A and B are shown apart, each in its own frame.
Chain A
Amino acid sequence: MNPPQPVTEVDIALTVNGENVTRHVPVRQNLVDFLRDTLGLTGTHVGCEHGVCGACTVRFDGAIVRACLMLAVQADGTDIVTIEGAATADGNGEIVADLQREFHQRNALQCGFCTPAMLLTAAELIAVRPQASRDEIRTHLSGNYCRCTGYQSIVDAVEAVCRKRAGAQP
């Protein structure tokens, strides 16, 4: 009897930015490579491929994850949001849109490579803790490297959206 052959490719079905997606993927493919190379969602960036810089952050069943530390097969049956759909997605969409506006007004980005992930990370904090202090914002963003801005304008932008949303709450 022949030994069982290792599985090298599998079918996955998931939701990405609200659209149903089915693909046949190599089992070793990273989630970020699947999103970028297979689906063409190049707004998610690859910065280090070892889970430190945060540039590959996406929303995965409502929580932010590092897409370089996950495999595409792990996304089977999940709901993923990338920057391309983040501002119109259910849940945090409005927060992301507010953040985009504030980032633009305050020039809270230079090269923009960290920016999509920074927006998703910041949106997660604002969704659960709009009353976050400046120090809390800085701590929360510490998993996302920015090499251009000095962080201050990013913190300012996130703080502005926090204040706006905290004010809007009853």
Chain B
Amino acid sequence: MPQESRGATVSAAGRRDGIGASLPRTNALRLLSGRGQYVDDINPPRCLHAVVLRSPYAHARIARLDVAAAAAALGVVRVLTGRDVAALCDPYVGVLQHVPGMQSAPQWPLAVERACWQGEPVALVAAATRAEAEDALALIEIEWDELPAVTDAESALDPATPVIHPELGSNLCFERVVEAGDVAAAFAQAAHVVEAEFVTGRHTAVTLESRSLLADFNSADGQLTVWHSTQVPYMMQWIIARHFRLPETQVRVIAPDVGGSFGMKIHIYGDEMAAVAASLVLGRPVKFVADRLESFVGDFHARGHRVRARMALSKDGEILGVEADDLYGIGAYSGYPRGSANEGLQVSNLVCAAYRRGAYRAVTRAVFQNKAMYGQYRAVGHPVACLVSEGLMDLAAAKLDVDPAEFRRRNYISPESYPLKLAGGPVLEKLSQHEALEQLLQMMDYRGLRAEQLQLHKQGIHRGIGLASFVENSNPSAATYGQGGVSIASQDSCTLKLTATGGIVAASSITECGQGGYAVIQQVVAAVCGVPFAQVKVVLGDTETTPVGGGVWGSRGTGICGEAALQAGKALKANILAFVARLQESEASLYDIRDGRVIDASTAVLVMTLEDVARTAYFRTDQVPKDFQPELTVTRSYAQKTWNGAYTNGIQASYLEIDIDTGFVKMLKHWVVDDCGTIINPLLVDEQIRGACVQGMGAALFEQCLYSDEGQLLNGSLMDYLVPMAGEMPDIAVGHTCTPTATSELGAKGAGEAGTAGASAAVLNAVNDALRPLGASVAEIPATPERILRALGRIA
């Protein structure tokens, strides 16, 4: 079903501001004027600035630590060591109870006896200015005994490799096997087998606003207020209260404007917890803002997988079986509180999940490394699973000499098979693979492009076309965290109140990190309540003024809180109409709200303005019948409980040119067809998909955290770590199929991660499509010029 028809069924007929309309974000105007307020823009009186000493070694014992000179330095108010903070903050262990065998070691905000990665925070200096704090940092005297570092995932489990945490018995965080059908038999009877070892570089989010936190503990009343660049205020409130042993009601977490997050800002960071500790100790505001260099070693990293995979095929090209062995190196501790398992869980669930994949066996193992912390980042695991799946599909198509688009079409899950439960747990409720493929091929003029590619090839110009189908989890249920014993809400809520002049204030439990959380709630509420867009104000990102909920991660904001907003809107509208009906001594069903006015539903004649309704309810209660109490503040909540997640799907295509003398890749064009169910605001969805694609392209061509064998990050600056720039990125055409989820009335599924899920695979397949006539291939991303030239045999 095309998106327009669905939008029209939900929005009031003919409205230009209903669900499905492309509306600019009202909250963007502040940001355009330089009037945003990010954490570092907030400067309360008596605010101290905290900086952090970090371990220069990947693994080392603290032999001596003397902070006396630093503590006595100009402007310094306090220096905290690992022991100081450990006395205030209970340690944390990042395991999910529903991942069998998962283990990790207790972790404190600042290293207590030893540091386990280069960049691990060791001590905190709080001073009147940041410059003074940095001056004092140089006065901390510390001596280290260097320990052997574990930096190679392949050998992490060898008996000869030191165990990072001896009490765990090994460097294994967890292992998981997903199995369905007889894989050995499938490969035994295969006419063709294709296989490869895929490698994805470890990389990081590089939010333009670095991690920032401002904690203000008022010792007079015991209230702790934390302004935090986070996606998850309620999770943070719970964590801070629990680990610092504070009553939750005395901890308020506020997420002001957040300068990019991408999943990196849903984790607990030792430097941030130490800044909270400093405020608790000092009873005054303490601000910590990571600089860019410490962001590279302090922020969570992601990806970094090695997957050996193979596919068994019949002589007719039917997939008989798929086997995948995934290994990835996380940090020295599993991330907290979400664990570092989700990438591996998704990889083991989703290899070739878009297809009738036959017998299936996937193994994933996460091993501890003396490297930066590791965990969830946009599209968790999906880009790896997609790269492997789509790489195998192209190898198979080439082996069978079938066009890759046609080969995909033949092997997609049959439309009548839904809902389909995959081995490992996910349920694909309903996908639109065939439709998406057709739309994509049309958008890109696939045949014309193939002809152009062939023509140019004859002229010595090497272009490639790469396809990548993807499936993507969204609207996650409690299966992701709650069932694992982690206190992260899978439900969200929206509170609506009618103001005295007939406006609506919507307090929502999701947050805004630029993705459009504000606009989505505003648009849904306006459409459902029948009021102009601009009449709805949204409040979010504050545990004290919004209802409880999970925040934004896992492509859940629109699908879950959008549904809560929809239900809240319906409830408020019903309450308003019931009130008006009572005042008119009539039936509520005879009225409607349009353009902020209560009208007679059949004649459209004005009955009362919303201002009249509110004024009567609030100021002229003498006119309200004694037995009737209008309720013009309502809250509705929603959690997706039908499946583990509402799976989305889509397909991407990349077109690029390779200079075989330099190995440079020029991106020419990229196409996406995405199915996120009901679209609230196409303007926002499309650019979010493009941005997500660019992050996947960065992973495909540029981005990698390079480590030495000793565990030193070699490219930890923006001079050395390559982030995609405007000049390198192509135009990206976005189309949609629309398969609303039946799990909610709104029908919206997630859109924020889909671009990242598929882009790396589309780009790598395009690279290999260009290289194939030259007899070369690359199975590792980023596909750097060096790797391409090596594949071509042009360098050793």
Residue A45, interface by CB 8 Å: yes
Say yes or no: A149-B687 contact (C-beta < 8 A), given A104-B28, A114-B208.
Answer: yes
The answer to whether B726 touches A107, judged by C-beta atoms less than 8 angstroms apart, is: no
Contacts of B405 in A (CB 8 A): none
CA distance A36 to B29 in the complex (A): 20
Nearest CB of chain B from residue A130's CB, rounded to whole Å: 18
Residue A154, interface by CB 8 Å: yes
The answer to whether A107 touches B25, judged by C-beta atoms less than 8 angstroms apart, is: yes
Report which of B717, B728, B729 forms a contact with A50, defined as CB distance below 8 A. Answer: B717
Residues on B close to A: CB < 8 A? 24-25, 28-38, 40-41, 43, 131, 205-210, 257-262, 291-293, 513-516, 683-684, 687-695, 717-719, 723, 725-729, 731-732, 755
Contacts of B258 in A (CB 8 A): 111
Report which of A113, A141, A148 forms a contact with B727, defined as CB distance below 8 A. Answer: A141
Say yes or no: A45-B732 contact (C-beta < 8 A), given A109-B28, A114-B208, A153-B687.
Answer: no
Contacts of B691 in A (CB 8 A): 110, 146-150
The answer to whether A110 touches B208, judged by C-beta atoms less than 8 angstroms apart, is: no
The answer to whether A100 touches B33, judged by C-beta atoms less than 8 angstroms apart, is: yes
The answer to whether A109 touches B34, judged by C-beta atoms less than 8 angstroms apart, is: no
The answer to whether A145 touches B731, judged by C-beta atoms less than 8 angstroms apart, is: no
Contacts of A119 in B (CB 8 A): 32
CA distance A101 to B124 in the complex (A): 44
CA distance A13 to B730 in the complex (A): 45
Residue A26, interface by CB 8 Å: yes
Nearest CB of chain B from residue A46's CB, rounded to whole Å: 7
CA distance A29 to B683 in the complex (A): 41
Report which of A28, A107, A113, A154 forms a contact with B259, defined as CB distance below 8 A. Answer: A113
Report which of B43, B131, B727 forms a contact with A26, defined as CB distance below 8 A. Answer: B131
Nearest CB of chain A from residue B137's CB, rounded to whole Å: 15
Chain A residue nearest to B38 (CB atoms) is A113
Chain B residue nearest to A48 (CB atoms) is B292
Comparing A69-77, A79-87, A160-168, the segment that makes contact with chain B is A79-87
How many chain A residues touch the partner (CB < 8 A)? Answer: 58
Residue A43, interface by CB 8 Å: yes
Taking A43-B35, A112-B32, A150-B755 as given, write out 20 further A-B residue pairs in contact, using a Cβ cutoff of 8 Å, ordered by the A residue number.
A26-B131, A36-B40, A42-B41, A49-B291, A83-B34, A84-B33, A107-B687, A110-B513, A111-B207, A111-B257, A115-B31, A119-B32, A138-B727, A141-B725, A142-B727, A146-B726, A147-B206, A147-B695, A148-B691, A153-B690
CA distance A104 to B24 in the complex (A): 6
Nearest CB of chain B from residue A85's CB, rounded to whole Å: 9
Nearest CB of chain B from residue A93's CB, rounded to whole Å: 13
Nearest CB of chain B from residue A76's CB, rounded to whole Å: 20
Residue A55, interface by CB 8 Å: yes
Residues on A close to B: CB < 8 A? 26, 28-29, 36-37, 41-50, 52-53, 55, 82-84, 86-87, 100, 103-116, 119, 135, 137-139, 141-155
Say yes or no: A148-B260 contact (C-beta < 8 A), given A113-B208, A142-B727.
Answer: yes
Of the A-B pairs whose beta carbons lie under 8 Å apart in the complex, a sample of 16, sorted by A's number, is A42-B37, A43-B33, A43-B36, A47-B209, A48-B292, A49-B291, A53-B208, A87-B33, A104-B28, A104-B29, A108-B687, A111-B513, A112-B31, A113-B208, A147-B208, A155-B731
Contacts of B718 in A (CB 8 A): 48, 50, 52-53, 145
Report which of A52, A100, A142 forms a contact with B726, defined as CB distance below 8 A. Answer: A142
Report which of A44, A82, A110 forms a contact with B687, defined as CB distance below 8 A. Answer: A110
The interface centre, meaning the residue of B28, B210, B293, B726 with most chain A CB atoms within 10 A of its CB, is B726
Contacts of A115 in B (CB 8 A): 31-32
The answer to whether A103 touches B260, judged by C-beta atoms less than 8 angstroms apart, is: no
The answer to whether A107 touches B683, judged by C-beta atoms less than 8 angstroms apart, is: yes
Chain B residue nearest to A119 (CB atoms) is B32
Chain B residue nearest to A68 (CB atoms) is B292
Say yes or no: A147-B33 contact (C-beta < 8 A), given A45-B38, A52-B719, A141-B727.
Answer: no
Contacts of B728 in A (CB 8 A): 142
Nearest CB of chain A from residue B703's CB, rounded to whole Å: 11
Nearest CB of chain A from residue B661's CB, rounded to whole Å: 22
The answer to whether A145 touches B725, judged by C-beta atoms less than 8 angstroms apart, is: yes
Say yes or no: A110-B32 contact (C-beta < 8 A), given A53-B718, A138-B726, A147-B262.
Answer: no
Report which of B37, B206, B291, B694 forms a contact with A150, defined as CB distance below 8 A. Answer: B694
Closest 3 CB pairs of A and B: A43-B34, A112-B31, A150-B690
Nearest CB of chain A from residue B288's CB, rounded to whole Å: 14
CA distance A119 to B36 in the complex (A): 15
Chain B residue nearest to A29 (CB atoms) is B131
Contacts of B515 in A (CB 8 A): 110, 148
CA distance A150 to B38 in the complex (A): 22
Say yes or no: A110-B695 contact (C-beta < 8 A), given A104-B32, A152-B690.
Answer: no
The answer to whether B726 touches A151, judged by C-beta atoms less than 8 angstroms apart, is: yes
CA distance A104 to B726 in the complex (A): 19
Nearest CB of chain A from residue B236's CB, rounded to whole Å: 18
CA distance A131 to B356 in the complex (A): 52
The interface centre, meaning the residue of B32, B261, B723 with most chain A CB atoms within 10 A of its CB, is B32
Contacts of B689 in A (CB 8 A): 150
Nearest CB of chain B from residue A48's CB, rounded to whole Å: 4
Chain B residue nearest to A85 (CB atoms) is B34
Nearest CB of chain A from residue B132's CB, rounded to whole Å: 10
CA distance A82 to B727 in the complex (A): 25
The answer to whether B690 touches A47, judged by C-beta atoms less than 8 angstroms apart, is: no
CA distance A92 to B222 in the complex (A): 50
CA distance A118 to B31 in the complex (A): 12
Chain A residue nearest to B718 (CB atoms) is A52
Chain A residue nearest to B516 (CB atoms) is A110
Contacts of A48 in B (CB 8 A): 292, 717-718
Nearest CB of chain B from residue A158's CB, rounded to whole Å: 10
Nearest CB of chain A from residue B459's CB, rounded to whole Å: 22
Say yes or no: A145-B723 contact (C-beta < 8 A), given A45-B259, A50-B292, A50-B718.
Answer: yes
CA distance A52 to B717 in the complex (A): 9
Contacts of B726 in A (CB 8 A): 137-139, 141-142, 144, 146, 151, 154-155
Say yes or no: A152-B209 contact (C-beta < 8 A), given A103-B32, A107-B28, A112-B28.
Answer: no
Contacts of A110 in B (CB 8 A): 260, 513-516, 687-688, 691
CA distance A139 to B725 in the complex (A): 9
The interface centre, meaning the residue of B690, B723, B727 with most chain A CB atoms within 10 A of its CB, is B727
Say yes or no: A112-B514 contact (C-beta < 8 A), given A48-B718, A53-B208, A155-B726.
Answer: yes
The answer to whether A109 touches B690, judged by C-beta atoms less than 8 angstroms apart, is: no
Chain A residue nearest to B37 (CB atoms) is A42
The answer to whether A149 touches B24, judged by C-beta atoms less than 8 angstroms apart, is: no
Nearest CB of chain B from residue A81's CB, rounded to whole Å: 11
CA distance A50 to B292 in the complex (A): 9
Nearest CB of chain A from residue B205's CB, rounded to whole Å: 8
Contacts of A44 in B (CB 8 A): 34
CA distance A116 to B257 in the complex (A): 14
CA distance A144 to B206 in the complex (A): 14
CA distance A55 to B292 in the complex (A): 12
Contacts of A55 in B (CB 8 A): 208
CA distance A152 to B719 in the complex (A): 24
Say yes or no: A105-B24 contact (C-beta < 8 A), given A112-B32, A113-B260.
Answer: yes
The answer to whether B262 touches A28, judged by C-beta atoms less than 8 angstroms apart, is: no
CA distance A106 to B259 in the complex (A): 19
Nearest CB of chain A from residue B233's CB, rounded to whole Å: 16
Chain B residue nearest to A55 (CB atoms) is B208
The answer to whether A47 touches B31, judged by C-beta atoms less than 8 angstroms apart, is: no
Contacts of A41 in B (CB 8 A): 34
Contacts of A149 in B (CB 8 A): 687, 690-691
Report which of A49, A139, A155 forms a contact with B292, defined as CB distance below 8 A. Answer: A49
Contacts of A53 in B (CB 8 A): 208, 292, 718, 723
The answer to whether B207 touches A147, judged by C-beta atoms less than 8 angstroms apart, is: yes
Contacts of A103 in B (CB 8 A): 28, 32
Contacts of A28 in B (CB 8 A): 131
Chain A residue nearest to B693 (CB atoms) is A150
The interface centre, meaning the residue of A43, A106, A142, A150 with most chain B CB atoms within 10 A of its CB, is A150
Chain A residue nearest to B688 (CB atoms) is A110
Contacts of B260 in A (CB 8 A): 110-111, 113, 147-148
